[in-house]
Chain A
Amino acid sequence: MDDLLSEFLTETNESLSVLDVELVKLEQNPNDPELLGNIFRLVHTVKGTCGFLGLPRLEALAHASENVLGKVRDGELPVTPAAVTLILESLDAIKSILAALEATEAEPQGDDARLITRLTALANGAAPAAKPVKPKKRATAAVTLGPAREAPQSEIVHGARASEGAVQDGKESKESFVAAQSIRVNVDLLENLMTMVSELVLTRNQLLQILRSQKDSEFGAPLQRLSHVTTELQEGVMKTRMQPIGNAWAKLPRIVRDLSHELGKKIDLCLLGADTELDRQVLELIKDPLTHMVRNSADHGIEQPGERTANGKPEAGTITLNAFHEGGHIIIEISDDGRGLDVDRIKQKALATGLATEVELAAMTDQQIHQFIFKPGFSTAAKVTSVSGRGVGMDVVRTNIEKIGGTVELKSQRSKGSIFTIKIPLTLAIVSALIVECAGERFAIPQISVVELVRAVANSENAIEHVNDTPVLRLRDRLLPLVSLQELLRLGTGRQDAETYIVVTQVGTYTFGIMVDRVFDTEEIVVKPVAPILREISMFSGNTILGDGSVIMILDPNGIAAATGEITVTEHAMRGEVQTRAEARQNLTTLLLFRAGQGGQKAVPLALIARLEEIDVAQVEHSNGKPVVQYRGRLMPLISIDSSCAMKSEGRQPILVFTDQDRSMGLVVDEIVDIIEDHLAIELNGDQPGLIGSAIIAGKATELIDAGFYLTRAFTDWFRASGEADWSGKRTKRVLLVDDSPFFRNLLTPLLSVAGYDVTTVESGDRALTLCEAGEDFDVIISDIEMPGMNGFEFADKVRRAGRWQDTPMVALSSYATPRDLDRGRAAGFSDYVAKFDRDALLNTLSETLSERGAA
């Protein structure tokens, strides 16, 4: 059954019961204006809702009754028993129609003309007939017993199915089936129930604990039973509070449909993640803001069909609602592909209302200007429509969301659309969490951000290593940054066990390991917000009570990531700002500093390095006159930086392992100094093979080594060509490199930046298109062809089709460079096609492409 209809039935049945009583009261106190007013209002509401739902028969009946009541209220008609009887009769008729409506979901056939005529006659002053003729009601032949429905918008306790009420004497006013299925319960009552059940669970757990210490207790069986019932009870009570978010937006399709008719627009509404569950109370509070935002999107966001087609967009606009869980929060995104926010108009309005001065506005980014729409009384709608633009809007939305501890963020781009992101903490939501121990204290980590667990034992393959006291872990060809929970939470400098567990955690795209002493199992926990005086500690997202009754803090991986400086995740920061920062961060390169051979400190991008190894010199063998070492079942050549860098004669030798696909090469170094993150700016070009150039890194002149050079020394066919490229004609041109292989991205970035390009790298076509939408511009795009997801051809096709990059030259990079591929590349819109390993060709092509473009 339609939710709307179901709700209507519940409500109307309630109103009708009230009416029955009120009318009888009225008969006794004919001159009570308050009573009359109340009755009139109830009938009026029934009439109004019928009209809204398109139920003409009900509406006509209710309308006729309302007329009579109106006259009575205005004193034009006296309250006579006959009049009351007639109205009661019409109410009965309404009830019977409702009953049929409930059974068949449609108004029953039938004619109330006679009843209506009599009502109208009464309203017009004629005395009602002494003995009213039974109207032709109970037209419902068969009342079928449908499955029990519930009215989802009300707080429901699933009761016993009151099926016996369904089949009754037709003359009796039948109790509404739907109404009997649900009762309204005060949320406070549920809240109390919840607390009591938690209490019960704790007591149960204590009892079980006692039971465990006593063998063969006669309490065993009953306690098991109690335990079972308690668990079910707990689940049941929790369920009463959780509702799918779909309930909050059940009315949206209808609203959007009506709006699109009213506004003459074509709008598709796309609802994703409707089954994401959240706390009922939270749901209730976000319902109105959500509706409001969707209305806004439909009214302000989506353009008229004509305007859309003129801009090359599909005629029908799309509003998408997407709800999902993320890192202990529920995220709801409301996005539209409309015209986006009009920055200029917001500026004008901000000036006009005195919210900002021209100077202040000039200094603001678009993002900051967008924020004005959240100010009270701010509406940029040119005209006030019935839909929106009345100035009560986004400020109320924001206030409502912030009231429940949530945030709302906005990202908008002219003629592309807007995205509102609502982030709501999981107050009372149930999450699965991993329980860990550190320095004797237990903590919960939301399971959702845990990727895996690693047990690190000293002197084994999974040992924690330190680079300048910074702990790192080698995890499958990667170096994983580690965070010591003990240090982070200042839990004292306790013991350092030989055995440490590492919780590999992911926040966005950033993966790091949290070092803990012990790992227990996972538990379903109820997240409770921390006390206000502790809210400033960003490491915790809440606290909870475990099964054994102890209080435990829930760690917030976002907060930990932010605190360890690797990522900037600020709740209140604009999503856009976060993105820009993340992008700025992309330009930073993590470098491994080391010493080897002659000269000063040397550096190589950390990402190029698969592993840092220390090998026993005794294991080094010689093959074909070159030093090799058996490494993971294969022979790995060892290369020295230069002739002056000799391998140690005994002991352990540090090497940097470079791996691509199945080949590895070890670079012999004297000492590994540090890992730092810095902007890679080559100051001097290297004139020596193997050196890209020199840069200031960590305040020291540092030689940046060309890993490619050493790779070719290890395997001459690693790249087909090597040697010095012609670095002439340097200009700071922006290059976008799209390649799914981190190895090539890291290899080409220094190569291209030394050639004078400003390089931005992304790992997929999708990410590249996001940059495009974010307003980034590049002089040339280099794209790999074989990529998972969107391949290079598809990417080029997308870029060429529309958008700001339409005319940006594109160079394809592929390990396949047959003429057929070339043709296909050109067809897709690539300006040129370069084999992946041909570095010279790439640089030449780039400079050619750019000069051609410059000349054109």
Chain B
Amino acid sequence: MGRSLSDLIIFVAKRLLQLIPVLLGVIVLTFLVTHLKLTGLCNEWYPKAGQTTLENCKAKYSAPILNQFYQYFTALLQGHWGADIAGVPVYPTIAADFPATLELVLASLFLMIFIGIPLGVIAAQYSGRFGDHLVRIFYLSGWATPTYLGAVVASVFLAPYLGLPAHGEYSSTSLPFHQYTHMSILDAMIALNLPYTADAISHLILPAVVLAFINMGIATRMTRASMLEVLPLDYVKSARMKGLSDFWVLYKHALRNALITTTTVLGITAGGLLAGTVVIEEVFDWPGIGQYAYNSIGGGSSVPNFDGAVAVVIVFAIGVVVANLVADILYGLLDPRVDWR
């Protein structure tokens, strides 16, 4: 059984190596999906563009497909990700927007873990009874809520009622401190500015809660299932027989074991959380890549931006791949049965 430090390094390195073909595949697939000329590519993306834009676009995409791929691939690796129709480059915009999205997703993940997992424990504890049904209704309601519905209801109806802001990261646009990380709460904390920290937190609450509510089902469901598997085991029974309280048995002994499977939730929900940001960031005016994706695709009345859309698709896919990698490594670390070699 190999679980020494050198084995761990090999374990992580192997997974990093496995990442390469997947990332290559992601890039190739994105190229194929976005560059296939089923209809007039340029007409479809720039329906209202001027003649010169259209001519430029057509000149660029009339080359043989392999040449196009070579161009696209080398430009991608060099960080030349193109520009939108007004000439704003894509890469710097995405790089600046990414931390805000990461902040939102991490906040939702935090809520999912600290609300979704205990709910799963409660459901397993009262399996088949009222508490179980109640939890089920709760997480299925989240499941059944389209992101836009949750976001609109929260921003239009809940926000005024709760007195929470529903637009942007801060109340004021001019900040008295420098944004090092582009994560609203972290930046305010680095500047040791308490009022702005509180302001940033209050702005994050609604979008994060909506995003978490919609994606919580998987965490709750998986925790419930693993708890149901663990609860009849002998070690749980013996803990109970020792006279430990229900709380201690459930949350210390049983959940600890059940939680190992739940780490895979990280990877599974990454796609849902990231996709959710597209609509949530638009509705809550959150300055992340979700909003950038919404605008690049041509959501609402915005002008579509082909280069931006291609980049955003790749970035989202990389996000999912990395989240799966983290979940995989975490699982290996937590479960002592996994051989690292």
Q: Do A and B come from one complex?
A: no
